[in-house]
A and B are shown apart, each in its own frame.
Chain A
Amino acid sequence: MSNHSAPNTGLWGWITTVDHKKIAILYALSSLFFFFLGGVEAMIMRTQLIIPNNDFVTARTFNSMVTMHGTTMIFLVVMPLSSAFFNFLIPIMIGARDVAFPRLNALSFWIFFFGGILLNAGYFINEVPRQGWFGYANLTDRQYTPDLSVDFWAMGLQVVGLASLIASINFFVTIMNMRCKGMTLLKMPMFVWTSLVTQVLLFLALPVITVALVMITFDRHFGTGFFNPGAGGSVILWQHLFWVFGHPEVYILILPAMGIVSEILPTFSKKPLFGYSVMVYSSCAIGFLGFAVWAHHMFTTGLGPWATTFFTAATMLIAVPTGVKIFNWISTVWGGRIHFNTASLFGLSFVAMFTFGGLSGIMHSSAPIDTQHQDTYFVVAHFHYVLYGGAVMGLFGGVFYWFPKVTGRFLHEGMGKVQFWLFMIGFNVTFFPMHFLGVQGMPRRNYTYAADQGWDLWNLVATLGAYTTAIGGLLFFYNLFYSIKRGALAPADPWDGRTLEWTIPSPPPEYNFGIEPVVKNLDDFWHQKYDEQGQRLSLPAKASYDPHSIHLPNPSYWPICLAAGLTLGAAGFFIKGFGLYVSLLGVAIVLISSYGWAYEEA
């Protein structure tokens, strides 16, 4: 059993790693790279809109920026950054040594990585997707987009979606099956709970977009007309399929951040999470109701009175569990000894910003108001408050909170706080005026606008806000490079934490736990450290163990081969001329890797 090899840290070690902590770092680094890319795209858009009738970029480039900013930020930043947290935290928080399927985990990462490259490959041949991140039919039709840009988008998303699907099944099984002794479902940390709901949403919602994307590909290359009214198809069907996936997707983006905040706030206010079980039920309710609200994105397509009523009511209903969560977070920090550092500031700002976005969301649930707001900057303001003020701020809080655990060093606090305020001010200066622009009727996605419509001032302000955020972003990257080398060394439990990851050294050893933990309570580590009156207890001495007796899965190069084959197979679909051969090569690689994988000793 004992084949504990020396940790392989070179490039080959990273390529073949199946260690969930290393894969988490790979996820985080790639998503930060894409974050930079998506940020640049946003800056180009805002620069174009800084004054009326600007010609900084062409309309075509602007459309590409709109499309790629949205697609990148959702599929290549927020999802994989959440996935980085899933990877690092889920096994440790539930007291496991790894995920249920370590090699599948590596496969998910590599598929995601290659898929992200495929999605962006249009940049190399100047055919960048420009049909919008929602790809509404029939803009995606060959008639309206004859070049390959839509194919890069559709196939790239297809591949990235497959990565998420595999990862979601992996994490779902991990949480269900691999919890340590004593950790019943209702003793899991809140982050694990929201992750669990996220995985369910992922593996249920992703197949829908898979089918829809296949239909686009067929429409473009095999002569079908699913979304072409001229052939008897329907453009509305695309919208339905897209949003049947797309609305659960919104909760896929926000739930992990909710979980992160639910970990940060109790730690820094020295109080347990208020209403833990209610939080759990709210998460489940959000996940369930998330499937019943998709058509609120489509009120203006004319759903008929009954459907409109139903989706209005369902959307208002989903605000209830969300509101419950907000009140729980407020009650968590209420009366606590709040310690303000970068992580808790990001966590607190999440609650505030997400509430803003939630409130404008409730406004949209009402069909008559939604009809007025449809396709204006009001909607842009709304979902940036939810996804940026919410998800991204929460994720950054998580980065500052768990960075010491991942690397053994703190991120620089001073720079972190400056970044936080740059983000917070920049964000609000950018997006709050967009509410005004929206109700003044400025349509979203337009590459420019005429002067003297009352939009000039707020657009200027929004762009200046965006630049402020960009400075904050650059500061963060500098902080990252600085702290990884020169940050202050972190102890095992730097924040006086509550969950299992703080019981092990920073950075954790490859096997996570020398002796598999046994849990008695929710927030078990806290209860080990403090008695009921809050008096500090002395921790028992750590039992010794032999790290060489711990069996770890072997590294494997088959995941990256399989992922490369899959991506080649997908890319071949639309390469002109020799595409079929590329696809066949991809399929061959997939087959060989699958068999190699199956017969390899794990």
Chain B
Amino acid sequence: MSAHLETNTGVDNRKFAMWTLIGSECFLFGTLIVNYMINRNRGLAGPTGPEIFNIDLTTLSTFDLLMSSVAMALAVFYCKQKRLRAMQISLATVVIFGLFFLGFQYYEFNHFVNEGLSLGTNIFGSSFYLLTGCHGIHVAIGVMIISTLLIQSLIKGESWFNDDVVEICGLYWHFVDVIWIIIFTVVLLLVLI
């Protein structure tokens, strides 16, 4: 274990802070999701959900993020096991899956705009873009953080097994994935109701 002060809960301060941030982010995304649910049918012009959603692509995005979560969990595990190569491969996988996800999202947004749904077309679209855009920004930040970790470990090699940091960044990444699980279900379900 890296040297940190003994804490009352036995958890590293940074890890505790990350969980607290995640608690806070629950409210951030909760508000955005509620906003989307309230506004899903409020389009006065332009297309709304059922006409425009591409479930195949959304499913693929979901699968992609879930797999990145698996890779992240493995990266944390290998870091604790001090298996450098395996950890680096896992981290690289996370980054690649993350970039794929961002690519899918770019494609999807582009597609929607071509279908005539831009940010200001109707309230449904605005809420949808706000929700998925905010999530996308989180993914982008995650990709940046994880690439930084990867580059660090590539430069410093065996001397770099910062397992607390990898674990904490992993928490962030998993949480972004969890949010997508909820968004996916909400989007699917609301097409039906």
Q: Do A and B bind each other?
A: yes
- Which residues of A are at the interface with B, using a C-beta cutoff of 8 A? 100-101, 165, 169-170, 172-173, 176-179, 203-208, 210-212, 214-215, 218, 222-226, 231-234, 237, 241, 244, 595, 598
Q: Which residue of chain B has the shortest Cβ distance to A97 in the bound complex?
A: B5
- Which residues of B are at the interface with A, using a C-beta cutoff of 8 A? 5, 7-9, 11, 13-14, 16-17, 20-21, 23-25, 27-28, 31-32, 35, 38-39, 42-44, 119-120, 122-123, 126-127, 130, 148
A100 touches B42 (CB 8 A): no
Measured between alpha carbons, how far is A170 from B13 in the docked complex, in Å? 9
Residues of the B chain whose Cβ atoms lie less than 8 Å from the Cβ of A211: 28, 31-32, 35
Taking a contact as CB atoms closer than 8 A, the residue among A177, A178, A179, A232 that contacts B122 in the complex is A232
> Which one of A165, A173, A205 has the greatest number of beta carbons of chain B within 10 Å?
A173
Residues of the A chain whose Cβ atoms lie less than 8 Å from the Cβ of B7: 177-178
Residues of the B chain whose Cβ atoms lie less than 8 Å from the Cβ of A223: 119-120
Dominant secondary structure at the B interface: helix
Measured between alpha carbons, how far is A179 from B127 in the docked complex, in Å? 43
Q: Which residue of chain A has the shortest Cβ distance to B126 in the bound complex?
A: A224
B44 touches A177 (CB 8 A): no
Residues of the A chain whose Cβ atoms lie less than 8 Å from the Cβ of B120: 222-225
Residues of the A chain whose Cβ atoms lie less than 8 Å from the Cβ of B16: 100, 173, 176-177
Task: Known A170-B17, A177-B13; judge A204-B27 contact (CB<8 A).
Answer: yes
Q: Which residue of chain A has the shortest Cβ distance to B28 in the bound complex?
A: A207
B31 touches A176 (CB 8 A): no
Task: Known A177-B8, A207-B28, A208-B27; judge A225-B20 contact (CB<8 A).
Answer: no
Task: Known A101-B13, A169-B17; judge A225-B25 contact (CB<8 A).
Answer: no
B24 touches A207 (CB 8 A): yes
Residues of the B chain whose Cβ atoms lie less than 8 Å from the Cβ of A203: 20-21, 23-24
Residues of the B chain whose Cβ atoms lie less than 8 Å from the Cβ of A101: 13-14, 17
Task: Known A176-B8, A178-B7, A179-B8; judge A225-B123 contact (CB<8 A).
Answer: yes
Measured between alpha carbons, how far is A554 from B123 in the docked complex, in Å? 49
Could you list some 30 contacts between A and B, CB below 8 A?
Answer: A101-B17, A169-B17, A169-B21, A170-B17, A172-B20, A173-B13, A176-B9, A177-B11, A177-B13, A178-B5, A204-B24, A206-B24, A207-B24, A207-B25, A207-B27, A207-B31, A215-B130, A223-B120, A224-B123, A224-B126, A225-B126, A226-B39, A226-B126, A231-B44, A231-B122, A232-B42, A232-B44, A232-B122, A237-B35, A244-B31
Q: Measured between C-beta atoms, what is the minimum distance from B44 to chain A in Å?
A: 4
Q: Which residue of chain A has the shortest Cβ distance to B131 in the bound complex?
A: A211
Measured between alpha carbons, how far is A206 from B25 in the docked complex, in Å? 10
Q: Measured between C-beta atoms, what is the minimum distance from B166 to chain A in Å?
A: 14
Q: Given A207-B28, A212-B31, A237-B35, list of 5 further CB < 8 A pairs?
A: A169-B24, A172-B20, A211-B28, A225-B126, A226-B39
Residues of the B chain whose Cβ atoms lie less than 8 Å from the Cβ of A208: 27-28, 31
B123 touches A231 (CB 8 A): yes
Nearest 7 pairs of A and B residues by beta carbon: A223-B120, A207-B28, A224-B126, A177-B7, A207-B27, A203-B24, A232-B42
Residues of the B chain whose Cβ atoms lie less than 8 Å from the Cβ of A206: 24, 27
B27 touches A205 (CB 8 A): yes
A233 touches B8 (CB 8 A): no
Measured between alpha carbons, how far is A212 from B5 in the docked complex, in Å? 39
Measured between alpha carbons, how far is A206 from B39 in the docked complex, in Å? 22
Residues of the A chain whose Cβ atoms lie less than 8 Å from the Cβ of B148: 595, 598
B123 touches A226 (CB 8 A): yes
Q: Measured between C-beta atoms, what is the minimum distance from B64 to chain A in Å?
A: 26
Residues of the A chain whose Cβ atoms lie less than 8 Å from the Cβ of B14: 101
